[in-house]
Amino acid sequence: MARTSLNKEQQQCLLTLAKNSIQYGLATGKPLTVNLGDFPAELTVKRATFVTLQKHGQLRGCIGILAASRPLVVDIAENAFSAAFQDPRFPPLAAHELDDLEIHLSILTPAEPIEFSSEQDLLSQLQPTIDGLILQEGNRRGTFLPSVWEQLPEPKQFLRHLKQKAGLPSDYWSETVKVYRYHAEIIH
């Protein structure tokens, strides 16, 4: 899979943008509006991203999209705002939490289907700490970013939890299950 690496200056620019969007959201209730002309071309290409917020090492919000549909800087600003204020698992971020917030950005490669003949075949192909996965069965779908391997390091455990996230039983299997793999450049 192609993997584009951003330099330290570009990474810092994106982290600052994410924080600024959250601060703007605290003040206005809206995400920061991004002017593409303010950024170098490398940061305006269409990319899919997730923004993960942590507070004292605990998840505080995570929102993103799996397919590139908008410029990288716009995606970061929108997802940072959404992670802070619209993740249904958490109350909206309060101003006093900002200083304790850690921002992690995941810039995804395009997802590619994995060909497999059985669940065991699929498990044998997984690359812990490298692969992000999308599992789809009918209209049910779930994804885990590569960083989730830190909590679920065994492929079988990772897949069982991913099935549950997709709304399926952890021991579910069928010949129609589809799994896609992507990688992520992590910035924090």
116 and 39, same structural domain?
Answer: no
Condensed to tens digits (0 to 9), the pLDDT of residues 86-111 reads: 999 999 999 999 999 999 999 999 99
Residues 49 and 64 in one domain: yes
pLDDT bucket at 3, cuts 50 / 70 / 90: very low
Diameter over CA atoms, the chain: 52
> Collapsing DSSP states into helix, strand and coil, what is residue 62?
strand
Tokens of 63: 């929102």
- Please check the confidence at residue 69 and state whether its pLDDT lies above 70: yes
Statement to judge: residues 164 and 81 lie in one domain: no
Structural domain boundaries enclosing 170: 112-183
Counting residues of the chain whose pLDDT is more than 90, the rounded percentage is: 97
Does 120 lie in the same domain as 102? no
Kind and range of the H or E element at 158? helix 155-165
- 78 pLDDT band, cuts 50/70/90, is very high
Both 88 and 146 in one domain: the answer is: no
167: phi > 0 → left, psi -120 to 50 → alpha, else beta; which?
A: left
What percentage of the chain carries pLDDT values higher than 70? 98
Q: Which domain-ending residue is among 65, 90, 108?
A: 108
Contact status, residue 167 vs residue 142, Cβ threshold 8 Å:
yes
* Burial tier of 117 (Cβ tally within 10 Å: 0-12, 13-18, 19+): exposed
Based on the fold, state whether residues 75 and 125 are members of the same structural domain.
Answer: no
- Domain C-terminal end among 108, 139, 166: 108
Query: How many CA atoms within 13 Å lie on the side-chain side of 79?
Result: 28
Q: How confident is the model at residue 5 (pLDDT cuts 50, 70, 90)?
A: confident
**23 and 77 share a domain?**
yes
Statement to judge: residues 167 and 153 lie in one domain: yes
The total number of structural domains in the chain stands at 2
Say whether both 56 and 101 belong to one domain: yes
Percent of the chain as helix, strand, coil, to the nearest 5: 35, 25, 40
Residue 9 has which token pair? 């200056």
For residue 188, tell me if it sits in a domain. no
* Segments in 119-154 forming alpha helices (H): 119-125
pLDDT tens column, 159-178: 999 999 999 999 999 999 99
Separation CA 107–CA 13 (nearest Å):
14
- Residues 156 and 86 grouped into a single domain: no
Given 52, 74, 108, which residue is the final one in a domain?
108
pTM reported for the whole predicted model: 0.91
Mean pLDDT of the chain: 95
In this structure, the dihedral spanned by the alpha carbons of residues 103, 109, 112 and 116, taken in order and rounded to 10 degrees, is: -50
Residue written as tokens 């003949």? 117
- CATH number of the domain residue 176 falls in: 3.30.1490.150
Once rounded to an integer, what is the mean pLDDT over residues 53-70?
95
